[in-house]
């Protein structure tokens, strides 16, 4: 992520479940040429491979609860050591608590990386409809929605032809818990970010195509920070 004359940037995509953080991160990594780091994806990989960490977090994730700060912070520290993160990165789903935000702030300071926060604004009703009809390709990660972006062939990925899957935590009861976790644990970060003096951009996360939203964010991030 070029920031001429300035430090590497960490783009923090912030917003409730269903606000489009994952979709935007996938589009933005092409425009910004930096990796997409999703704590949710990393945790799901552990759950899918059924290793110790996966077994530790599975029940909480399936119930829509946050996993421990200590564990998530550790995953992020390890991921940021990889060379592809040296010139900046996109964080999706992290930080999600005040403790994580304070931890990240120290970590970025120590690496000389500057945070830029983008807050995706999407209203509550749209979030519910997005999450309830969501399907994803297990191969390329493309996200579909039965009402707003259905696949061309029922239940098959347009790119891969793979059978689409839904996330176990997208059932209505679990979605409710995820939104409660957001309200109680994550929303307070807005005040934290606004006091921190970091670059902070609210961006409308619905009403225009995802590609147009990504172009807008890319423009904001590429302007001199």
Among 33, 38, 9, 14, which Cα is nearest to 187's?
14
Residue with tokens 């029940």: 59
* Binding string, residues 102-141; x marks residues near ligand ADP by CB under 6 A: ----------------------------------------
Q: Based on the residue annotation, tell me whether 21 is a catalytic residue of this protein.
A: yes
Q: Which is nearer to ligand ADP, 26 or 96 (CB)?
A: 96
Catalytic residue among 111, 152, 178, 195: 178
The phi, psi pair for 18, rounded to 5°, reads 85, 5
Interacting residues of 39 by C-beta distance below 8 A, sequence separation 6+: 72, 75, 76, 91, 92, 93, 94, 96
The correct pick among 27, 34, 43, 157 for binding ligand ADP (CB under 6 A) is 43
Question: Angle 110-111-113 (CA atoms, 0-180°, nearest 5)?
Answer: 115
- Choose the binding region for ligand ADP from 2-10, 93-101, 103-111, 157-165 (rule: CB under 6 A): 93-101
Q: Which two tokens stand for residue 94?
A: 């992290």
Question: Angle 218-200-79 (CA atoms, 0-180°, nearest 5)?
Answer: 70
Give yes or no for residue 64 binding ligand ADP (CB under 6 A): yes
The correct pick among 8, 17, 115, 151 for binding ligand ADP (CB under 6 A) is 17
Catalytic residue among 26, 29, 130, 134: 134
**Interatomic CA distance for residues 172 and 9, integer angstroms:** 36
Q: Based on the residue annotation, tell me whether 96 is a catalytic residue of this protein.
A: yes
Q: Based on the residue annotation, tell me whether 134 is a catalytic residue of this protein.
A: yes
Q: Which two tokens stand for residue 146?
A: 């039965």
Q: Which is nearer to ligand ADP, 21 or 79 (CB)?
A: 21
Q: Based on the residue annotation, tell me whether 176 is a catalytic residue of this protein.
A: no
Residues of this chain that bind ligand ADP (CB under 6 A):
17-18, 21, 39-40, 43, 60-61, 64-67, 72, 93-94, 96, 100, 169, 178
């Amino acid at each position: 992520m070029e920031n001429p004359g300035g430090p590497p940037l960490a783009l923090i995509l912030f917003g409730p479940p269903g606000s489009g953080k994952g979709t935007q991160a996938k589009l933005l990594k092409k425009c910004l040429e930096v990796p997409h780091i999703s704590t949710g994806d990393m945790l799901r990989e552990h759950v899918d491979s059924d290793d110790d960490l996966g077994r530790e977090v599975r029940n909480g994730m399936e119930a829509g609860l946050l996993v421990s700060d200590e564990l998530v912070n550790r995953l992020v520290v390890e991921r940021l050591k990889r060379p592809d993160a040296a010139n900046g990165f996109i964080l999706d789903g992290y930080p999600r608590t005040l403790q994580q935000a304070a931890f990240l702030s120290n970590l970025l300071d120590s690496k000389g990386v500057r945070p830029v926060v983008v807050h995706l604004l999407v209203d509550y009703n749209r979030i519910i409809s997005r999450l309830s009809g969501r399907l994803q390709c297990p191969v390329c990660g493309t996200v579909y929605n039965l009402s707003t972006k259905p696949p061309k062939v029922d239940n098959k990925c347009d790119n891969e032809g793979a059978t689409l899957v839904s996330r176990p935590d997208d059932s209505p009861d679990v979605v409710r818990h995820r939104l409660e976790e957001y309200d109680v644990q994550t929303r307070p970060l807005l005040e934290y970010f606004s006091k921190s003096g970091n670059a902070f951009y609210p961006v409308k996360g619905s009403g225009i195509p995802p590609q147009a939203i990504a172009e807008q964010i890319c423009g904001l991030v590429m302007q001199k920070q």
